[in-house]
Amino acid sequence: MFCGVVRRLSRGAIAAGLVWMAGAILLLEGGAASAAPAMWEVRDKDSVVYLFGSMHVLAPHVRWRTRTFDHAYAAADRVWFETRADLPPEQVKALVDRYGVDPERSLTQKLSPTALATLRPVLDRDGVPLETVERLRPWAAAMMLSVAPMTRTGGEVASGVDAATTRRARTADKPIETFETFEQQLRIFADLPEQAELDYLDDVAREQLTPPRDGVALERAWLKGDMGRLGSRLVDHMRTQRPALYDALLRRRNLAWADRLDAEMRQGKGTELVVVGALHMAGNQGLPALMKARGYVVRRIQ
């Protein structure tokens, strides 16, 4: 659903970025590597859940599948994702128009002079007229801009872990479950306080103007399974500096998903594979920690 350059991005493309929101806030660099993204096994006496922290937008050449992942996929009776990746375009557009567009107040009316001065160079660099984002809510404008670094290095949703695994499961008629509807994901952003939206847009703009301080690409950290770097670089910063965004995007959703998995494991036997954004695995409020707190045996297997 993504176009090659930001100036061609439609509201459907903004929505595609939103579907994979945890990955969309990352500034990525391309490059294949020997992959071992982080993965956990959650077990009780008669059921197993594999937790895989995904990257939602990747270049086609990135090699991320391993024998461990393929074993978990083959053993799984069902695969869980954050939301559906295959909604009809007209449904996506209608929902984005409903939740991501503000017909009454323009974006520039909401931005401070400093924030506008930060945003303009990002738009100019990618040839995006300010008019293109004027009627978008700040979160939608941020989502649109966050796509640019990924597409410039060849990244695409279709090559991301979630989309690729969804296609694989559908081809094999393997059952698919989701934690949220697409509308529920949109409402996560739509229900944010306006200042949290503005902070999010400002963070995205500043991130794109400033290279990573340590020069290490987050995509490579993900491929190496370096959850410490992902956690300290993104999750810890969000929790301390942007608490409203952290609460909406990660904490509340992680708790809801852990409750859902807990209920599934208590109901009976089986093996399930969970594929959600890697940031949902980080820290003491990530899914592995939450499942361990619920009494399950949790071990990292990759």
Better pLDDT: 208 or 55: 55
- pLDDT the model gives residue 212: 53
Q: Over range 266-289, report the average pLDDT.
A: 93
pLDDT tens, residue by residue, 34-48: 458 999 999 999 999
Q: What global pTM score does this model have?
A: 0.84
Count of CB atoms situated within 10 Å of the CB of 173: 7
Has residue 7 got a pLDDT over 50?
Answer: no
Q: How many whole angstroms separate alpha carbon 121 and alpha carbon 204? A: 12
Q: Which of 83, 188, 101, 168 is CA-nearest to residue 138?
A: 101
> What residues are paired with 274 via a beta bridge?
51, 80
- Residue 224's SS3 state is coil
**Tell me, what DSSP letter sits at residue 85?**
S
Has residue 1 got a pLDDT over 50?
Answer: no
* Kind of pairing between the strands at 39-43 and 297-300: antiparallel
Has residue 121 got a pLDDT over 60?
Answer: yes
Q: Over range 206-227, report the average pLDDT.
A: 73
Has residue 33 got a pLDDT over 80?
Answer: no
pLDDT tens, residue by residue, 244-273: 999 999 999 999 999 999 999 998 789 999
Amino acid, single-letter form, for residue 7:
R
- pLDDT the model gives residue 66: 95
- Residue 173's SS3 state is coil
Has residue 52 got a pLDDT over 60?
Answer: yes
CB 268 within 8 A of CB 46: yes
Tokens of 202: 């400002």
E strand or H helix at 49: strand 47-54
Q: How many whole angstroms separate alpha carbon 302 and alpha carbon 297? A: 16
